[in-house]
Amino acid sequence: MRNTAAPDAATPSVDYGIDAPCVIRNFLIAGVAMASIGWFLPALHVIGFTVNLGSALFWWGLCNIAVCIFMIVYAKRGKLRHRDRMLGMISWTGDECVLDIGTGRGLLMIGAAKKLTTGKAYGIDIWNAEDLSDNSVQNALKNAEAEGVKDKVEIRNEDARKMSFADGAFDVVFSNLCLHNIYDPEGRAQACREIARVLKPGATALISDFRHTKDYARMLEQTGLRVSLSLPYLLDTFPPLRIIKAVKPKGNF
Ligand SMILES: C[S@@+](CC[C@H](N)C(=O)[O-])C[C@H]1O[C@@H](n2cnc3c(N)ncnc32)[C@H](O)[C@@H]1O
């Protein structure tokens, strides 16, 4: 049966938040400070050489400001395109059981729920305030309601490193920009092992991130999954994201 759910575009009242708001704020403060100091700093004449530190500082400041702008454009537009890209990598039947790890305000959980008829989409998170603006269960639920999929989602307060779901519970597992927030390598390896554990035989995980992606690919491969890693998506994600596709083989696993 093909999916007949609502279209993918987010409705206007839905806001999936700004990733790493403190990082954006720090880049902005540093950028404005450097550009301003650089603008006013006169060139220095040192033993016959002209050293234009001000100009270097000014341009470095502008680069910092550009990073903020790219991150905000990703959060407001790019992440919706990236979500649709990830959703488009699955052949939906509508009855899938889906998990979004680090769902935040529900980006992939809600996107997946819109593809479902009889299936269900779960979102888990630990709601780190510094990882996403206004990050909360309430805001994820509000978005699910606005997108008309509240009945098809379930949100749980769970850590990617230790999930309560049964082995082989999911047909599809998504995660976007979550795993790099686990700072120790063993924690990230644990999360990868958990992803492999909760996938059904034949099921697919799509893990998107900008850091440690080769490590995730290696760790998922070590659990016996068939893994491929995309090139970075330079045009509509910032920092540029790569997607790991990991498929759990059927049969004796
Ligand atoms: C940058 S946000 C991305 C949110 C969402 N996936 C998106 O793309 O809009 C990262 C999310 O991962 C969550 N997170 C961080 N560490 C986690 C962990 N160990 N387990 C579950 N969620 C985690 C944060 O609370 C945050 O909601």
144-158 confidence digits (pLDDT tens): 999 999 999 999 999
> With bands split at pLDDT 50, 70 and 90, how would you rate the model's confidence at 5?
very low
Q: What is the mean pLDDT of residues 101-121?
A: 98
> With bands split at pLDDT 50, 70 and 90, how would you rate the model's confidence at 44?
confident
pLDDT at 251: 75
Closest ligand 1 atom to 128 CA: 25
Q: What is the mean pLDDT of residues 174-179?
A: 98
Kindly report the number of other CB atoms within 10 A of residue 110's CB atom: 28
Q: Is the peptide bond before 239 cis (omega within 30 degrees of 0)?
A: yes
Q: Residue 48 half-sphere exposure, CB side, CA atoms within 13 Å?
A: 0
Q: Cα of 149 to ligand 1 centre, how many Å?
A: 21
Structure tokens, 64:
């910092």
Average pLDDT, the chain: 94
* Percent of the chain surpassing pLDDT 90: 89
Structure tokens, 9:
């575009």
> With bands split at pLDDT 50, 70 and 90, how would you rate the model's confidence at 169?
very high
Closest ligand 1 atom to 160 CA: 20
pLDDT at 42: 81
pLDDT at 2: 41
Q: Give CA–CA dist 213/241, Å, rounded.
A: 9
Q: What is the mean pLDDT of residues 84-90?
A: 98
Model confidence pLDDT, tens digit, residues 193-202: 999 999 999 9
Pocket residue to mutate for ligand 1, from 23, 79, 105, 132, most atoms within 8 A of Cβ: 132
Model confidence pLDDT, tens digit, residues 114-133: 999 999 999 999 999 999 99
pLDDT at 252: 57
Residue located nearest, by CA, to atom 14 of ligand 1: 102
| Strand intervals (E) in 73-197 | 97-101, 120-125, 153-157, 170-176
pLDDT at 43: 77
Q: What is 88-247's CATH superfamily?
A: Vaccinia Virus protein VP39 (3.40.50.150)
Pocket of ligand 1 (CB under 6 A): 16-17, 19, 79, 102-104, 107, 124-128, 131-132, 135, 159-161, 176-178, 181-182
Backbone CA torsion sign across 148, 105, 197, 228: positive
Query: Where are the chain's structural domains?
Result: 21-75, 88-247
Q: Give CA–CA dist 244/230, Å, rounded.
A: 6
pLDDT at 4: 43
